[in-house]
Amino acid sequence: MIPRYRKQFNQDFSQEKYSQLKDILTQKSGIEPAFRISESPFFLTKEFEHKLIDASESIIDQIKALPAETLQKAIPENCNVPNDTDQPHFFTIDFGVCKNANGEIEPQLIELQAFPSLYTFQKTFENTFCEVYPFLSDIKNPMSADQFREYLRELIVGDENPENVILLEIFPEQQKTAIDFALTEKLLGIKTVCLTKVKKEGKKLYYENNGQLIEIKRIYNRVIFDELDRIPDLKTEFNFREEIEVKWITHPNWFFKISKYLLPLLKHQFVPKSYFLHEFPENEQLKDYVLKPLFSFAGSGVNLNPTQDITDAIQDKENYILQRKVQYEPIFEDINGDFSKAEIRLLYIWRENDERPILLENLGRMTKAAMVNVDFNKKDAIWIGSSNVFFGEE
């Protein structure tokens, strides 16, 4: 999208620099990335950035205007957690880089979540790209590392002692996002604690550190219900649905409330038409739509080519949507002259007393496959995986 930056990057690129990029990330975190790191960032124009922000602001307005009861309906009965909050602490929104019917490159909404997604890693990743390729510093995110840290510290730690704040995950050392946990620990001075290690006395929660029980007052929540439900015989001392004296950052209910559930309710030129499966109109054709379960994560359960037999066999049709297909456009050229497609995730925080969320960083994903997930790419493909977006003038 910005030929001069692409040309300079591809000229400067080498496998040695790619190895250096990954080595620096490992040194900063103490953990090797468990997901594929793209060799390259991608470059988009300020004009494209304005389109992203315009669409996001419209979506935020529409969500704010929804009645609380509408959002409440999104929460499955067995997943409702007490002491909900008025708004989420995190808000992320995914757009594909697409081509419209007029041949113009534009963003198209893919999905949205109220769930933290590699915030600390992405800031570190962006800075590391700039270390290895210094010319990128001219177009990096203007938010300083200190301002970024202060935003996250205020949101996650608040007025508490960091030792009373934990990052909560299920078997964190096994998660692909473990590098983000390690970087967050270093940034904020908090501990990552496995759900199975949390202890409960009355309505209070504790974790053990150096033989001492430490009270947990705030939870930076990284646990996904969808994943919990797939672990048989999981033994924990407390259940999310219990009344406990803890502050959730962000509250688990928002995982459901800001989700694919909202897609049929949103209207914008960069929001593809979506329907709940049980409300799919007869005058629409399945071949033009993608089938998505409402609450799956990381692309699981998505069907790019649904058929009548497949949709007829689904019993809980209210838990699925059909989203109109969009055309991801391969415009990001690699060193071999091949092209990748991409998605952008905008990473917002939403402080409790703020009317609107604040955009902190972005997350890029590059692919050469039908879905933006490295598991679907050829093993020898390049210019695929986790990335960052740099916005600049043409």
Q: What is the 3-state secondary structure (H, E, C) of 52-81?
A: HHHHHHHHHHHHHHCCHHHHHCCCCHHHCC
d(CA 43, CA 185): 30
pLDDT level of residue 380 (50, 70, 90 thresholds): confident
The stretch 141-152 carries a mean pLDDT of 96
pLDDT level of residue 76 (50, 70, 90 thresholds): confident
- What's residue 371's pLDDT? 62
d(CA 68, CA 117): 25
- What's residue 377's pLDDT? 55
Tell whether the model's pLDDT for residue 373 goes beyond 80: no
Q: What ranges make up the beta strands (E) of 235-308? A: 247-249, 274-276, 289-293
The stretch 8-19 carries a mean pLDDT of 97
pLDDT level of residue 374 (50, 70, 90 thresholds): very low
Which of the two residues, 289 and 299, has the higher pLDDT score? 289
- What's residue 334's pLDDT? 96
Tell whether the model's pLDDT for residue 296 goes beyond 90: no
The stretch 77-99 carries a mean pLDDT of 93
- What's residue 229's pLDDT? 74
Tell whether the model's pLDDT for residue 329 goes beyond 80: yes
- What's residue 77's pLDDT? 83
Tell whether the model's pLDDT for residue 376 goes beyond 60: no
- What's residue 127's pLDDT? 97
The stretch 347-357 carries a mean pLDDT of 96
DSSP state of 143: S
- What's residue 299's pLDDT? 56
pLDDT level of residue 214 (50, 70, 90 thresholds): very high
pLDDT level of residue 30 (50, 70, 90 thresholds): very high
